[in-house]
């Protein structure tokens, strides 16, 4: 059997228990904040960005259609029996085609990052599980155990016989 407990300060145990509770709350708050940020990022990649780039693809397609019509119109009317160069219309069509390609690339990048984020979220949830278990089960149990220790120490101090006093002069 081990020797007697060498408890120097019950107050120190109470301070530690309070610090443990504070740590628990701060860690839970941090996890909730991180979880909210992750949900916002996922929502942004799953809903906002795909709809934005879908609309941009549609607009770029409309611009190409309009640029082709403008080029055809320009080519349809020769000036002084010479075929017009329609340089400006060709440049606009080229820019519109480049823009459509960029929009398609962005749409693909959004799909790629959405898959990546889903994968990383699964990794995160797997790794954060032990911390959540610690915060939800083990820390409250540790705080309860510390509270129980403090109560036992308080009860022990109450039951302890009074400390022997030094004999008063003349009573010996």
Percent residues over pLDDT 90 in the chain: 67
**CA–CA gap between residue 41 and residue 47 (Å, rounded):** 10
Neighbours of 71 (CB within 10 A): 16
What pLDDT does residue 80 have?
Answer: 75
pTM: 0.65
**pLDDT of 79-93, one tens digit each?**
777 777 889 999 999
**CA–CA gap between residue 1 and residue 171 (Å, rounded):** 41
**pLDDT of 80-127, one tens digit each?**
777 778 899 999 999 999 999 999 999 999 999 999 999 999 999 999
- Name the pLDDT band for 160 (thresholds 50, 70, 90): low
User: Please, are residues 53 and 103 in contact by the beta-carbon 8 Å criterion?
Assistant: yes
What pLDDT does residue 83 have?
Answer: 78
- Which two tokens mark 65? 């259609």
Across the chain, mean pLDDT equals: 88
Give how far Cα 110 sits from Cα of 24, 124, 151, 172, Å.
Answer: 36, 20, 58, 94
Listed residue (3, 12, 5, 1) closest to 146, CA to CA: 12
DSSP letter, residue 164: P
Ramachandran class of 170: left when φ > 0, alpha when ψ lies in -120 to 50, beta otherwise: left
């Amino acid at each position: 059997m081990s020797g007697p407990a060498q408890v120097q300060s019950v107050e120190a145990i109470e301070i530690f228990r309070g610090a443990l509770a504070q740590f628990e709350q701060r860690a839970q708050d941090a996890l909730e904040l991180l979880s909210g940020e992750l949900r916002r990022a996922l929502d942004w990649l799953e809903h906002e960005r795909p709809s934005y780039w879908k609309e941009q693809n549609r607009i770029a397609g409309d611009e190409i259609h309009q640029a082709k019509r403008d080029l055809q119109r320009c080519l349809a009317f020769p000036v002084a029996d010479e075929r017009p160069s329609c340089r400006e219309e060709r440049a606009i069509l080229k820019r519109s085609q480049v823009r459509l390609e960029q929009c398609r690339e962005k749409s693909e990048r959004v799909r790629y990052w959405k898959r990546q984020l889903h994968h990383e979220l699964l990794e995160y949830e797997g790794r954060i599980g032990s911390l959540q278990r610690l915060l939800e089960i083990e820390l409250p149990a540790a705080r309860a155990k510390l509270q129980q220790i403090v109560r036992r120490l308080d009860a022990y101090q109450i039951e302890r016989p009074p400390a022997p006093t030094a004999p008063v002069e003349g009573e010996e």
